[in-house]
Amino acid sequence: MTSPQAVVVGGGLAGIAAAVAVAKAGIETLHLSPKGPPDRRTSALMQPSVAYLQSVGLVNDPAAIGQPLTQIRIIDATGRLVRAPETLFDSRDAGLAAFGWNFPNVKLLESFDAGRTGLTNLRTLELSVTGLERVADGWRLELGDGSTVTAPFVVGADGKKSLVRVAADFRARENGFTEAALVCDLELGRPLGGASVEFHYPRGPFTLVPAGGRRANLVWIDDRDVLKAAQAEGPDALQRIFIDKSQHLFGDIKLLTPAHMFLLSTLSVDEAGHDGIVLAGEAAHAFPPIGAQGLNLGLRDVADLSAVLAATDVAAPGWAVRASEDYSRRRAADLGRTGVMVDTLFRSLLSELLPTQAMRAGGLWALKLSPQLRKQAFSVGMGVR
Ligand SMILES: Cc1cc2nc3c(=O)[nH]c(=O)nc-3n(C[C@H](O)[C@H](O)[C@H](O)COP(=O)(O)OP(=O)(O)OC[C@H]3O[C@@H](n4cnc5c(N)ncnc54)[C@H](O)[C@@H]3O)c2cc1C
C-alpha cells in the first residue's frame, strides 16, 4: 500500500480502536504505531463503552480480561467543616448488573490487537511521525525512518503531546496541575467485592478499584511533591501510608507492583477536526482521572468517527475535508460537556472555599437522597447519549 486513503497516528488504545474503525469503513488505512513502554494504567470503562467495544469485536468477553464494577463508594476524608455524607451508588439502582468494567490497559491493548486481525486493508508500521504538512492532495507525513507518505485523511491519536495537533494548527488550551496521580497494584487484607472506593482527601481522591479477588488498582491523586516523597520512602513506608489513607477499612495492604506517577493537566481543543485531519483520544482532550472519563470519551470519539465515515462517500472529491468537518460538529457537545463536568468535579474537591465545599457536600446529599437525581447522574457519568 503506497498511498493509503487514511493514516492513523498513535498506537495507544484510542489509536488502535480508531485504526480498526477507519479500516472497517472500507478505507485503505496505514496505522503508525511506534513501540513504547508498557501502559501500566487501568481503565474503568462504563457499560456503553464496553458495549461499543463488543459490537466492533475489540473486546469479546469482558469477564475474561476485567472485573465488573457494581458499586461506587465515596468517603469524605477532607476533615472539613462542611463534609459530604458517605455515599454508595449501586448499579442495581440504575437497573444495571454493573456500571462497567475495570481493565488493565495491557490486557485491553492485547484484546484490541486481536480485534484487527483479518482486516486486509489495514497495514501497521512501528514508525513515529516526525513531521506533517498540507499538500495539494491531502497531508504529507514524514516518518521516523526518513520516508514520507501522503493521504487525504489523517487521524491524530498520538496522545496529550500530539505532534499532529500542533503541526496541523489546532488551537488547544492546556492547564497543568501541581497534583499528580500515583498508580500501582495492591493486595488488600479484605476484598473490595465489586466496589470502587474513593476516599476524598483535600488534595485529591485516593481510589481503590477492584482488580479481582483481594487485588485492587490504586489511583492516588495528591500534590506532586507529596507523592514523590512517599514514593522515595520505599515499599514498606508506602504500604503503611496506604493502610492509613484507606482508613484501615481493608486490613493489611501489600504492594504488588512498583508505583508509577502521572502528571496531571487538562487539555481541550476548539475543534476536533478540520482540513481532512481529526483528533481522537488524549490528542483532543485530557483531564485528571476523576470519574473515569478519559478513555470512555476517547472511545466515543472513535464511535463517532465510525458513524461519520459510514455516512461519507469516500469516492467523492473532497470527502476527507467534509468528513473532518462532520466529525468536528458531531464531537463538539460531548467534548464540551465532559470537560466541564470533570473540571468542576476536580476543582470542587480541591477548593478551599467554604461555599464550594458546601455545594459539593449538598450535591452528594441530594444524590444520596434522591433516586431520580442518582439516575440522572449515572447517565451523565456513564456518557449515555
Ligand atoms: C492514572 C490514570 C488513570 C486513568 N484511569 C482511567 C479510567 O479509569 N477510565 C478512563 O476512561 N480513562 C482513564 N484514564 C485516561 C486514559 O488512560 C487515557 O484517556 C487513554 O489511555 C488515552 O489513550 P490515547 O490512545 O489517547 O493516548 P496514549 O495512551 O497516550 O497513546 C498515544 C500513543 O501515540 C503514540 N505517539 C506519540 N507521538 C507519536 C508520533 N509522533 N508518531 C506516532 N505515534 C506517536 C505513543 O507512542 C502512544 O502509543 C486514566 C489516566 C490516568 C493518567
Question: What mean pLDDT value characterizes the chain?
Answer: 90
CB of 141 closer than 6 angstroms to any ligand 1 atom: no
CB of 159 closer than 6 angstroms to any ligand 1 atom: yes
pLDDT at res. 145: 97
- Tell me the pLDDT band of 352, cut-offs 50, 70 and 90: low
Instruction: Specify the residue with its C-alpha closest to ligand 1, atom 1.
Output: 181
pLDDT tens for 141-151 read 999 999 999 99
Closest atom of ligand 1 to 299 CA is 11
Q: C-alpha grid cell for residue 105?
A: 490497559
Tell me the three state secondary structure of residue 126. coil
CB of 267 closer than 6 angstroms to any ligand 1 atom: no
CB of 34 closer than 6 angstroms to any ligand 1 atom: yes
CB of 66 closer than 6 angstroms to any ligand 1 atom: no
Distance 13 CA to ligand 1 centre (A): 7
CA atoms within 13 A on the CB side of 290: 29
Distance CA 28, CA 25 (A): 9
pLDDT at res. 202: 85
Distance 8 CA to ligand 1 centre (A): 15
Q: What is the model's pTM?
A: 0.91
Neighbours of 165 (CB within 10 A): 24
CB of 179 closer than 6 angstroms to any ligand 1 atom: no
Distance CA 204, CA 226 (A): 12
CB of 13 closer than 6 angstroms to any ligand 1 atom: yes
CB distance 231 to 238 below 8 Å: yes
Distance 218 CA to ligand 1 centre (A): 18
Mean pLDDT of 216-243: 96
Lowest pLDDT segment from 1-10, 42-51, 240-249, 287-296: 287-296
CB of 282 closer than 6 angstroms to any ligand 1 atom: yes
Q: C-alpha grid cell for residue 44?
A: 474503568
Closest atom of ligand 1 to 286 CA is 19
pLDDT at res. 56: 96
pLDDT at res. 345: 66
- Tell me the pLDDT band of 89, cut-offs 50, 70 and 90: confident
Closest atom of ligand 1 to 163 CA is 41
CB distance 19 to 116 below 8 Å: yes
pLDDT tens for 304-345 read 999 999 999 999 999 999 999 999 999 999 888 876 776 776
- Higher per-residue confidence, 293 vs 376: 293
pLDDT tens for 234-260 read 999 999 999 999 999 999 999 999 999
Distance 282 CA to ligand 1 centre (A): 6
Instruction: Specify the residue with its C-alpha closest to ligand 1, atom 27.
Output: 159
